[in-house]
Amino acid sequence: MFHVALYQPEIPPNTGNIIRLCANAGCRLHLIHPLGFQMDNKRLERAGLDYREWADIAEYPNWEAFRQQMEKRRIFACSTRGALCYDTPEYQQGDVFLFGPETRGLPPELIAALPAKQRIRIPMQPGNRSLNMSNAVAILVYEAWRQQKFSGGY
């Protein structure tokens, strides 16, 4: 199982899509507050459809509470400021993929606190700002799962 962590997510449909993705890929979803919406938001429910009941979701009041829970796991910060292409690391069960708020990304100090080999990015055309967060999560989760030969799937 991999872990997807959303640091202060802002857009309900993105989180709803990620709930559905995590349920289907067997990942645990971690939501780090503050959230830009209520968990009962209709747009969140519509995007997540009925997958909420199958998704494993944990919530944390802040970064420190999350970090303490994950202290023994490798955390990969996914950011346009990451140095390593997302397909380079050899992912292991239990790895955590951290994504920042849609409008501003992960804070530089969070990224800098992680080892350089755990700061990853997804290639894009020059000059473009970023991918949609739920698309970026899907790219990374499926690459990590592919490396595990889709263990537990099918």
> What are the sequence ranges of the domains in the chain?
3-147
Rounded average pLDDT over 139-154: 95
Q: Name the percent of the chain lying above pLDDT 90.
A: 80
Q: Name the percent of the chain lying above pLDDT 70.
A: 92
- SS3 of residue 129 by DSSP: coil
Residue 51 scores a pLDDT above 90: no
CB 118 within 8 A of CB 77: yes
Q: Which amino acid is at 109?
A: E
Burial tier of 44 (Cβ tally within 10 Å: 0-12, 13-18, 19+): buried
What is the reported pTM?
A: 0.93
Q: Which CATH architecture has domain 3-147?
A: 3-Layer(aba) Sandwich (3.40)
CB 117 within 8 A of CB 84: yes
